[in-house]
Structure 1
Amino acid sequence: MLAVAPNGGRHTRQDHPNLPLTPAALAAAAAECLEAGANLLHVHVRDYQGRHTLDAAAYHEAFTAIRHEVGDGLVLQTTTEAIGQYTAPQQMEAVRALRPEAVSLAVAELFSGAASEREVATFLAELALDQVLVQYILYSADDQRHLQTLVQRGIVPLPFWTLYVLGRYGQPRLSTPQDLLAFPPFSGPVTAPWAVCAFGPGELRCALAAVAFGGHVRIGFENNFQTPDGQTATSNAAQVRQLVAALGALGAVPMSAAQLRAIWQQPQG
């Protein structure tokens, strides 16, 4: 998987003039990233004031524009990131209203206590029934251990993928490949495919380390605006092209979106 997170929910064009925020801009960025080698787009949308939103109508507008440009060439993944605005029940209702192809769910937010485990289990069972491609966001080894316990207890169904987040917004220390060591692989019966995203100019090095150890990657302006040498990246697609070129040295080639969809639904255990 070579995923792109082209905007995030916090940045503005003051952070980067080519940050795609409107449906048209997201569609153009999606087409460029597909041509560069990406197979999944992790999408945040904004309201008419440019603020982060989980509104289903805003997502429908953006996804329609993107599909017009790329067809089925990219898996489209919606976020449920709260950014201090949404509770777990609101996040779940937003996903129910949208019924996306793929969704990312932060373990630390979804199981925050704002919703009961029974409510969350019902929601996750609905996603499994609809064959939504689920990816759990893990900010720490504690998140990973919590997820593993939830799987063992039957709260979280298989299959799913995970995403390890290296670094944070505003974190003074830049992400490095060594940060992967904080996330020990699942033990026992759970063998979920995993990916990495990383903050700062270490993004490319972290992505290559993840692939070398059998993982997948997510890059893009949500987490990083810089090239490895600290220069400002020109676009999300430029970052993808740079990564694809570097992956060639490892003999790694991004799969197609069709292949990703098929692999994501394979049984795990």
Structure 2
Amino acid sequence: MADQDEQRRTAIAVAPNGGRRTKADHPAIPLSPAELARTATECLEAGAGMIHVHVRRPDGRHLLDADAYREAIAAIRAATGERMVIQITTEALGIYAPAEQVAVLKEVRPEAASLALREIVPDNAAEPVFADTLSWMKQEHVLPQIILYDPAEAVRLAGMIRRGVVPWQDIPVLYVLGRYTVSQTSQPVDLLPFLAPDMPRFANWSVCAFGQHEAACVTAAALLGGHVRVGFENNLLLPDGRLAPSNAALVETVATAARALGLGLCDAAAIRELARA
């Protein structure tokens, strides 16, 4: 059984770009492999142990492409070595079908990948493909994270675990507090429905949030035993409402708060161990 210090360590992931925002939104949003590598290094120094990567087309639009992912991963790995967990997204963004999402995942064979439940398993008929995909991830040692946009999805995922669709007794999840809409601002109270007494419990859960109160939301999650994801994908603002100068500034804000509250930070090795537990 982990000791108390281990139980109170928090993993910080950075989501530095997402699939929607461009340099018109913030000039420091990293889009190229070189920019992603530089951002990864800055965020590692600020306290992040994982980076959540999106790649883009030359015109800035969202892209799922194996070669583009390999180039970005190689650049980040060259800059940070093994000190960052590199997680790719399979997000469809309304462009890609589940089969295309899974195909890119298998072609890249990344260290880690996130899968939105509502995209990969849009209905019960898609469950066999989801089961096969997760079994492949387990066999290939690709660390999974299931993205959940509302509590009903958490209940659905827990049911899949009970029925053996998911080849683990537990699986890392990310609770999304809010939606990708203009001026969306999440609040810490938005986390409570995910943690209600009648809700399923996941041993490894993380939170991301939108807008100025991102740090407050994820710090609340950390105090309640969760892990955190911050970055320009969901938020461009510091807690006081000023424009954040960089992704690293958002990471540093949360890392400083966590340490001040007595929480340790997970390095990449600890994140890998947590994901495999």
TM range (shorter): over 0.9
Structure 1 segment 95-110 matched on structure 2, within 5 A: 95-110=105-120
Considering only aligned residues, what root-mean-square deviation do their CA atoms show, in Å? 1.7
- Partners of 2:197 and 2:102 lie apart in 1 by 26
TM-score by length of 1: 0.95
Please report how far the alpha carbon of residue 245 of structure 1 lies from its aligned counterpart in structure 2 after TM superposition. Answer: 1.0
Deviations 1:13-63 (A, max 9, x none): 000010000000000000000111100000000122221111000000001
Return the match for 1:65 from 75, 78, 91: 75
Aligned CA distance change for structure 1 residues 93 and 160 (closer, same or farther; 3 Å): same
Q: Identity of paired residues, percent? A: 48
Match of 1:222 in 2: 233
Aligned CA distance change for structure 1 residues 121 and 185 (closer, same or farther; 3 Å): farther
Match of 2:101 in 1: 91
- Partners of 1:97 and 1:221 lie apart in 2 by 27
Match of 1:265 in 2: 276
Please report how far the alpha carbon of residue 191 of structure 1 lies from its aligned counterpart in structure 2 after TM superposition. Answer: 3.4
Greater alpha carbon shift after TM alignment, 181-190 vs 215-224 = 181-190
Return the match for 1:142 from 152, 155, 174: 152
Contact 1:161 1:192 (8 Å CA) reproduced: yes
Q: Residue 202 of structure 2: SS of its match in structure 1? A: coil
Contact 2:155 2:200 (8 Å CA) reproduced: no
- Partners of 1:226 and 1:127 lie apart in 2 by 35
Q: Residue 135 of structure 1: SS of its match in structure 2? A: strand
In structure 1, runs of 5+ residues without a counterpart are: none
Match of 1:11 in 2: 21
Please report how far the alpha carbon of residue 66 of structure 1 lies from its aligned counterpart in structure 2 after TM superposition. Answer: 0.6
Match of 2:130 in 1: 120
Aligned CA distance change for structure 1 residues 60 and 180 (closer, same or farther; 3 Å): same
Please report how far the alpha carbon of residue 91 of structure 1 lies from its aligned counterpart in structure 2 after TM superposition. Answer: 0.6
- Partners of 1:113 and 1:57 lie apart in 2 by 30
**Counterpart AA for 1:194:** W
Contact 1:89 1:115 (8 Å CA) reproduced: no
Greater alpha carbon shift after TM alignment, 101-110 vs 114-123 = 114-123
Aligned CA distance change for structure 1 residues 13 and 32 (closer, same or farther; 3 Å): same
Contact 2:172 2:202 (8 Å CA) reproduced: no
Contact 1:88 1:115 (8 Å CA) reproduced: no
Match of 1:184 in 2: 195
- Partners of 2:138 and 2:197 lie apart in 1 by 21
Structure 1 segment 24-35 matched on structure 2, within 5 A: 24-35=34-45
Deviations 1:115-163 (A, max 9, x none): 6322221111111111211000000011101100111111112252110
Match of 1:205 in 2: 216
- Partners of 1:162 and 1:12 lie apart in 2 by 27
Match of 1:133 in 2: 143
TM-score by length of 2: 0.92
Please report how far the alpha carbon of residue 189 of structure 1 lies from its aligned counterpart in structure 2 after TM superposition. Answer: 8.6
Q: Residue 239 of structure 1: SS of its match in structure 2? A: helix
Q: Residue 29 of structure 1: SS of its match in structure 2? A: helix
**Counterpart AA for 2:273:** A
- Partners of 2:236 and 2:106 lie apart in 1 by 32
Please report how far the alpha carbon of residue 251 of structure 1 lies from its aligned counterpart in structure 2 after TM superposition. Answer: 0.6
Q: Residue 195 of structure 2: SS of its match in structure 1? A: coil
Match of 2:4 in 1: none
Contact 1:133 1:160 (8 Å CA) reproduced: no
Please report how far the alpha carbon of residue 263 of structure 1 lies from its aligned counterpart in structure 2 after TM superposition. Answer: 2.0
Match of 2:259 in 1: 248
**Counterpart AA for 1:254:** L
Aligned CA distance change for structure 1 residues 48 and 186 (closer, same or farther; 3 Å): farther
**Counterpart AA for 2:119:** E
Greater alpha carbon shift after TM alignment, 67-76 vs 42-51 = 42-51
Contact 1:34 1:74 (8 Å CA) reproduced: yes
